[in-house]
């Protein structure tokens, strides 16, 4: 979030200083390389580094020159699921220390995802104690949660669907609103001015709702699988047409992963419990998700019987397409589950191979491309819905696989299409006898 925000601001003409404690990461950025895969980010970085609008440094005192300071550090989970605010605390301390000898006022913006109360009870006192200045006078503090998605981060930054500004300092809100009106070149109508705590809770509610929507459709998909002549993709399309529901985030699959939804859902549950409330719905959302990956193994066993000694191709490892991020990716338990069943696993992902090698080491084989991955396989499990997989002709899979069997866990293929070709096809959310596709057998 920090790097994308910095690059987008710099590209619009602002002078941006990126501060980080990780020297290796800073060197990478300096060379115009991104520490992770994000579409278009490299070109943004190259352009803004070249013209000097973006520079990076490990020296936090560089902040004293700026009008605005954004806190965009990570907020990982503690072991029991609660939020770890150490990086936020350190960033607030570093900002405050850089302001000790500064006369002009500065606007400090918390963009990191933090539990309600963090700006007021942690950031604000830290800013005041370490700078010797008063928040609301020389320092202005605003909570401004971020809703960008990995893989779509630049577009989400440049075209946000709303802006949330939280503070009890009217000047802080006015300053940030002015900055965004200039940045976006228009007056933002979908803008909420509110308290720090509302702004902080909005972010958690947003991610918890998205997670609940996915767990809901996965739950219905699991029910559909027990009912003849059903197909979750038709059900999702139809209920999505109800304007009150909406179609997005109703793609049944293997559950939600990544660096945000799992961490934020757990942090919200942990926070609620510290206040004596058990958020049953959100806990059920999490529980539903924790088991969903097992569908991939179940369907593979349904197709092949025992997996022992079978060559299984895993298509997609990243937690979602257009990223190389494997944090909380469902591919991790799936690959481990396949290995436990005795399968020989070969995997391919268009972007996440390096991340995968760090996790699976030499326990699996790594293919250079899709066709190498499925070569000689008895079953191919679609784990991540990369466009590259969507466009793959079934004929190619049939020709290369030993036993043409597809386990479509992201519903890339149309049931009618697969019913036309000699392939064994199983998918998430398809009831018995739904289409010929589910019954068709591979060639002998």
Which is closer to ligand UGA, CB of 44 or CB of 319? Answer: 319
Binding of ligand UGA by 148 (CB under 6 A): yes
Strands (E), 117-235: 139-143, 163-166, 191-194
| Residue from 96, 135, 214, 380 in contact with ligand UGA (CB under 6 A) | 214
For residues 149 to 168, the per-residue mask of contacts with ligand UGA, x marking binding by CB under 6 A and - elsewhere, is: xx------------------
Q: Does 9 bind ligand UGA (CB under 6 A)?
A: no
Span 236-255, contacts to ligand UGA by CB under 6 A: 249-251, 253
- The question of whether 142 is a catalytic residue gets the answer no
Contacting range for ligand UGA; rule: CB under 6 A; set: 51-59, 207-215, 390-398, 428-436: 207-215
Smaller CB separation from ligand UGA, 66 or 72 = 72
Among 8, 142, 219, 260, the one annotated catalytic: 260
Q: How far is the CB of 441 from ligand UGA (least distance, A)?
A: 29
The answer to the question of residue 210 lying near ligand UGA (CB under 6 A) is yes
Q: In what order do the strands lie in the sheet with 163-166?
A: 68-71, 106-110, 139-143, 163-166, 191-194
Instruction: Write out the binding residues for ligand UGA, residues 264-293 only, by CB under 6 A.
Output: 264
Q: Which stretch binds ligand UGA (CB under 6 A): 140-148, 157-165, 176-184, 336-344?
A: 140-148
**How would you label 260-299 residue by residue, b for 16+ Cβ within 10 Å and e otherwise?**
bbbbbbbbbbbbeeeeeeebeebbebbebbeebbebbbeb
CB-based burial, 403-438: b 16+ in 10 Å, e otherwise: bbbbbbbbbbbebeebbebebbbbbbbbbeebbebb
Binder among 14, 295, 311, 320 for ligand UGA (CB under 6 A)? 320
For 55, 84, 179, the CA distances from 144, given in Å and listed in that order, are 23, 19, 13
- CB-CB neighbours of 245 under 10 Å: 14
How many other C-beta atoms can be found within 10 angstroms of the C-beta atom of residue 238? 11
Shortest Å, Cβ 236 to ligand UGA: 8
Binding span for ligand UGA by CB under 6 A among 74-82, 256-264, 272-280, 414-422: 256-264
Q: Which two tokens stand for residue 351?
A: 């972007």
Q: Which is nearer to ligand UGA, 70 or 256 (CB)?
A: 256
**DSSP string for 269-284:** HHHHHHTT---HHHHH
Torsions phi, psi of 422, nearest 5? -80, 85
Handedness of CA 209, 213, 214, 218 (dihedral sign): positive
Active-site annotation, residues: 260
Site of interaction with ligand UGA (CB under 6 A): 113, 146-150, 207, 210, 214, 249-251, 253, 256-258, 260-261, 264, 319-320
């Amino acid at each position: 979030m920090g790097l994308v925000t910095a690059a987008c601001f710099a590209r619009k003409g602002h002078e941006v200083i990126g501060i980080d404690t990780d020297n290796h990461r800073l060197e990478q950025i300096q060379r115009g390389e991104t520490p992770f895969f994000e579409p278009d980010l490299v070109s943004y970085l190259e352009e803004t580094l070249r013209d000097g609008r973006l520079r990076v440094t490990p020296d936090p005192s560089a902040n004293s020159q700026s009008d605005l300071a954004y806190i965009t550090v990570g907020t990982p989970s503690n072991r029991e699921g609660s939020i770890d605010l150490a990086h936020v605390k350190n960033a607030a301390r570093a900002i405050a220390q850089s302001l000790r000898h500064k006369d002009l006022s500065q606007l400090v913006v918390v963009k990191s995802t933090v539990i309600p109360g963090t700006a007021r009870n942690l950031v604000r006192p830290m800013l005041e104690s370490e700078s010797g200045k008063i928040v609301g006078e020389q320092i202005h503090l605003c909570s401004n949660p971020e809703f960008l998605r990995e893989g779509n981060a630049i577009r989400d930054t440049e075209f946000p669907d709303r802006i949330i500004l939280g503070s009890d300092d009217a000047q802080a809100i006015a300053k940030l609103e002015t900055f965004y009106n200039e940045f976006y070149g228009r007056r933002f109508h979908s803008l909420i001015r509110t308290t720090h705590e509302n702004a902080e809770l909005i972010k958690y509610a947003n991610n918890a709702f998205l997670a609940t929507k996915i767990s809901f459709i996965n739950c219905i998909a699991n029910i559909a699988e027990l009912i003849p002549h059903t197909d979750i993709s038709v059900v999702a399309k139809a209920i999505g047409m109800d304007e009150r529901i909406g179609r997005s985030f109703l793609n049944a699959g293997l559950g939600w992963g990544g660096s945000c939804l799992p961490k934020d859902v757990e942090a919200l549950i942990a926070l609620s419990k510290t206040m004596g409330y058990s958020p049953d719905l959100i806990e059920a959302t999490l529980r539903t998700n924790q088991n969903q990956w097992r569908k991939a193994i179940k369907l593979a066993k349904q197709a092949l019987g025992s997996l022992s000694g079978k060559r299984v191709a895993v298509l997609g490892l990243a937690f979602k397409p257009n990223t190389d991020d494997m944090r909380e990716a469902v591919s991790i338990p799936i690959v481990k589950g396949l290995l436990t069943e005795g399968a020989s696993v070969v995997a391919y992902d268009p972007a996440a191979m390096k991340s995968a090698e760090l996790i699976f080491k030499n326990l699996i084989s790594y293919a250079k491309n899709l066709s190498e991955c499925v070569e000689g396989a008895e079953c191919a499990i679609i784990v991540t819905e990369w466009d590259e997989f969507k466009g793959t002709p079934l004929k190619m899979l049939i020709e290369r696989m030993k036993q043409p069997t597809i386990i479509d866990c992201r519903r890339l293929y149309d049931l009618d299409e697969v019913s036309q070709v000699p392939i064994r096809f199983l998918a998430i959310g398809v009831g018995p006898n739904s289409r010929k596709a589910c019954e068709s057998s591979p060639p002998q």
